[in-house]
Amino acid sequence: MKNLLLAFIAVAFFALDSNAQAENYKSFEWDIIRLGFATPSGEGVTGGVAMGSEFRYNVKDNISAALRLEFALFGSDSDVVSLGAFGSYSLIGDYYFSNTGNSRAFAGAGLGLFNGGSVEVNGQAVDGGGGSDFGAVARVGYELGLLRLSGEYNLIFAEGASNYIGVHVGITLFGGYKGS
């Protein structure tokens, strides 16, 4: 995680140093809270909640670079109580299809580290497992003023890992269109 954070900071400082910044949009944005629903691809697993935060730098009016931090919690649909969770740290680039005003659609992709784990309770026995794996994120969404709506597919590059789809609503601070 430290390497990913250092890479994001280095990219942000390089972008600032090279005068690459959005002309019509504020440079930095922060989705202070992102809440949503996440559903994994595995059998016998039900959807759950996802929450996180995202920091973005608008490199140009139509391109942004982001660091996304997310936590997703899932349950099971069997008689055994079972919980699964993912925490992820991803660097994501977004492309905006419109560059006028506070309402615009976007698509993005990125790479990151996914930390997963699960706990299964069967009577008195408790088994735990988890690990860290590399993964990718693809997303589409729409910004509407201070609200940011997105649908994301999280692909984890590990054998037997449950990929998951998330639908989120985020509240953005410090960003937006500079014009009136």
Which CATH number is 41's domain given? 2.40.160.20
Q: How many CA atoms lie within 13 A of 3 on its CB side?
A: 3
Question: Would 180 be classed as within a structural domain?
Answer: no
CA dihedral for 160, 131, 4, 42, sign (positive or negative)? positive
Residue 164 pLDDT > 70: yes
Domains of the chain: total? 1
Question: Would 138 be classed as within a structural domain?
Answer: yes
Question: Would 179 be classed as within a structural domain?
Answer: no
Q: How many CA atoms lie within 13 A of 2 on its CB side?
A: 0
Q: What is the mean pLDDT of the chain?
A: 79
According to the model, what pLDDT value does residue 67 have? 95
Question: Would 19 be classed as within a structural domain?
Answer: yes
pTM of the model: 0.77
Residue 168 pLDDT > 80: yes
Question: Would 160 be classed as within a structural domain?
Answer: yes
According to the model, what pLDDT value does residue 83 have? 73
170: left (phi over 0), alpha (psi -120 to 50) or beta: beta
Residue range 89-148, pLDDT digits in tens: 999 999 999 877 788 999 999 999 988 776 665 543 344 446 788 999 999 999 988 899
Q: Pairing relation of β-strands 103-122 and 81-96?
A: antiparallel
Question: Would 54 be classed as within a structural domain?
Answer: yes
According to the model, what pLDDT value does residue 23 have? 76
Domain containing 88 equals 2-173
Question: Would 86 be classed as within a structural domain?
Answer: yes
Question: Would 178 be classed as within a structural domain?
Answer: no
Higher pLDDT, 7 or 109: 109
